[in-house]
Structures are given as C-alpha cells and as structure tokens.
C-alpha cells in the first residue's frame, strides 16, 4: 500500500493543483467533468457521463456486491481579494483528488475479486441538489456501502487525526417575500410598512423554542426593502432565513413553528408573506457497521492514538440524502484532520496537502474491508 501511494503521489498532486486552479460552481462543472473523464479513461477506467448533468461515475468489476466512494466536485462563489469568483474553499478539490487517488491505488494493488466498486463524482453539493439528482438517476440503488470524505477544520479536529463519522446537522435556506401596499410618509395608515413587519417577524422567530438538548437555530440572514425616496413607506420586502437543527426530528418541529409564526405575523400585519425553501439538507444518519469498518481502516493507517470520535457539526451536507432516500445503503463520511485553517468557506482556506495520501489510504482500506464483510455475509 505505501509503495503504491508513493507511486501515485505525483499524479495526485497534479490532479489537486489542476482542480484547485480551475474551480467551477454548482451545475457548471463542465470542464471539471471533462478533465476527470479524460484522466480516468486514460488510466483505463470505465466512465459514465450524462447529457443532462455534470458529474460522472466510474465502475470497476462485476458481481452482486457494490461498494462506493462519493466525492463532490463543485466550488463556492465568493469574494476573494475583492473579486467574486469560483473558489475551492470547502475542500471539494481535495475530496475529488482523494477519490481519484483511491482508484489509482486500487488499480496498482488490485481491486477486490468479487463485487463492483463505483466512484461517484457528484455535482452541486453546495446547492444541496446534486445528490438528489443522482438519486433520481438510480446511481446508488445497488449500493451496499457508500463512503464520503470531508476535510475538517482545526476547530473540530487536530492535524493527523481522523474520524469515522461526521454528524452533520439538518439545514434549510429559505427565501421569502412580504407583499403589502406602499404609503405616503405622512399617511402610514393607508399602507403596510414592510420594515416594521420584518421587525415583528425577527422578534417572533427569536421567540421559537424547541428541545434545548438538541442544538438548533433559526435566524434572518437578509432583508431588503424600500428605495431612494425617504418619504415613501415601503410595503414590500424580501428576506432570507437560515434554519439549522442537529436532528431531522427537531428540524421538522422547528419548521412547523416557523411556518406558524410567519402566518401569525402576516395576519396581524395584513400582508402576504410567502416563503420558498431554496436548499434543504438532512441531518446525518450513519450506519454503525460502516463506521466500524472505517474505524478499522483509520487505525491501520494512522494508529489508534489518532482515531477521533465521531464529529458533531452544525454544517450541512447533501451526502446524507443517499441514506435518507435509500435506507438500505450503509453510509458514513470520513472526517479528515488536516490542519485546515482559518476555516471552511474562508476565501483563504488552506490545509496540509500531505493529508491527501492519508485520506486515500483510509478510503482504500475501508473499501477493501467492506468487500471482505460482504463476502463473509455470503
């Protein structure tokens, strides 16, 4: 294994450097898809692409068993040095590189003799819609085990440590609108003040209380109303709300109360308030057996002293749709400690690139242990 890792290291470094310097945002990963397809076909892999979607899938082997690795390929759109641009500040370039590296290492050391390995290069994780699109294509319907990987920041895990599970929370990003009637500044009784409505809504949202033992939050993150004329009372406005909960059950309760609060404020203020969920990410529901198989791989790779406990994080991740929508698929996600700072989504995010080889080795060992487990169950 170590020899194979060193042999593929130059390719791994080239892949990461290319992806990092050629970021593409969600659903526009056209050149990224083309690059990966060309690279993997050159290495002799069977690649499937899609006419209606970016992303690709690599399948190796045949048989009833199916074990998978999923990597996300999209970048964020954010301001870097004063300019808005695509930027890999969430580590998806690293995740994709590790998935490619795992394929190259397995090619050298030998793929499992029974069953199929499928590696998913998924688009649009940042939009929360890529996994759902691939689910609709039936890509994971035949999986027994599916593994993901995500770089973790220094605030969660130290460099060199690895966790066999990331317990992401549920997240919803909501856009809303207030529709009322403008009025003259001297005649406020003839209209509705959207700014005052929004102030009521902010306070009402802050009054929502659910189970205090489960981390959760709902907060307004954007509000726009009014124009250049100071003597016009604006009757219309738009807003955004970010909702988080560590479990899917608490998220359901939180959303139920949020909808009641919005309805009450709309009735009290005599305006229409409409909301639309723009992104909807479920909380993690990992499989105990998958976690144990990854624990074993981590111990074999870095030693028991660097095995970290499952990480609970309020961040969201669409990877968990695979389990939520296909409960028969056993999943977990590797949390890789890599000296990542200042933090995920920071425009200047950096990490220790030596961790790429560590992640590759853990993924390869986890895949092999999963096939062994499936063979034992036969």
Q: Indicate the domain borders of the chain.
A: 2-168+284-377, 170-281
Cis check: omega of the bond before 158, within 30 degrees of 0 = no
Same fold, 2-168+284-377 and 170-281: no
- The superfamily in CATH containing domain 2-168+284-377 is Zn peptidases (3.40.630.10)
Please give the DSSP secondary-structure letter assigned to residue 141. Answer: T
Q: What is the structure's pLDDT at 66?
A: 97
Low-confidence ranges of the chain (pLDDT < 70): 378
Instruction: Encode pLDDT of 265-278 as tens digits.
Output: 999 999 999 999 99
Give the number of other CB atoms < 10 A from CB of residue 227. 8
pTM over 0.85: yes
Reported as a single tens digit per residue, the pLDDT across 12-65 is 999 999 999 999 999 999 999 999 999 999 999 999 999 999 999 999 999 889
Q: Which CATH architecture has domain 170-281?
A: 2-Layer Sandwich (3.30)
In this structure, what token pair is assigned to residue 62? 């045949």
> Which pLDDT score, from 0 to 100, does residue 378 have?
67
* HSE, side-chain direction, 13 A CA sphere, residue 184: 2
User: For the chain, what is the largest distance between any 2 Cα atoms, rounded to a whole number of angstroms?
Assistant: 81
How far is the C-alpha of 66 from the C-alpha of 347, rounded, in Å? 37
């Amino acid at each position: 294994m170590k020899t194979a890792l060193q042999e593929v290291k130059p390719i791994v470094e080239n892949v990461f450097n290319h992806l990092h310097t050629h970021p593409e945002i969600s659903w526009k990963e056209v050149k990224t898809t083309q690059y990966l397809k060309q690279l993997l076909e050159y290495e002799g892999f069977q690649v499937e692409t899609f006419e209606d979607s970016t992303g690709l899938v690599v399948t190796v082997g045949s048989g009833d068993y199916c074990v998978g690795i999923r990597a996300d390929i999209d970048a964020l759109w954010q301001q870097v040095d004063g300019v808005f641009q695509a930027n890999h500040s969430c580590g998806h370039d690293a995740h994709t590189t590790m998935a490619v590296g795992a394929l190259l290492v397995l090619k050298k050391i030998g793929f499992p003799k029974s069953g199929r390995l499928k590696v998913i290069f998924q688009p649009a994780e940042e939009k929360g819609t890529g996994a759902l699109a691939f689910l609709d294509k039936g890509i994971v319907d035949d999986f027994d085990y599916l593994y993901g990987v995500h770089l973790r920041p220094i605030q969660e895990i130290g460099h060199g440590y690895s966790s066999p599970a990331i317990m992401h929370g549920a997240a919803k990003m909501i856009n809303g609108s207030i529709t009322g009637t403008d009025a003259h500044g001297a005649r406020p009784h003839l209209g509705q003040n959207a700014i005052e409505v929004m102030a009521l809504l902010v306070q009402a949202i802050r009054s929502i209380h659910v189970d205090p033992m489960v981390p959760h939050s709902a907060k307004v993150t954007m509000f726009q109303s009014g124009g250049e004329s100071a003597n016009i009372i604006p009757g219309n406005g738009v807003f955004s709300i970010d909702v988080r909960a560590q479990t899917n059950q608490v998220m359901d309760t939180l959303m139920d109360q949020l909808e009641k609060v919005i309805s009450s404020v709309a009735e009290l203020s005599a305006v229409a308030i409409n909301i639309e969920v723009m992104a909807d990410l479920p909380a993690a529901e990992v499989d105990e057996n998958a976690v144990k198989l990854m624990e074993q791989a981590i111990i074999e790779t870095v030693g028991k002293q660097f095995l970290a406990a499952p990480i609970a994080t309020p961040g969201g991740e669409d990877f968990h749709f695979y389990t939520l929508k296909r409960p028969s698929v056993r999943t977990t996600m590797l949390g890789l400690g890599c000296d990542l700072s200042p933090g995920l989504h920071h425009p200047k995010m950096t990490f220790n690139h030596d961790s790429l080889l560590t992640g590759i080795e853990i993924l390869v060992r986890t895949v092999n242990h999963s096939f062994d487990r499936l063979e034992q169950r036969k």
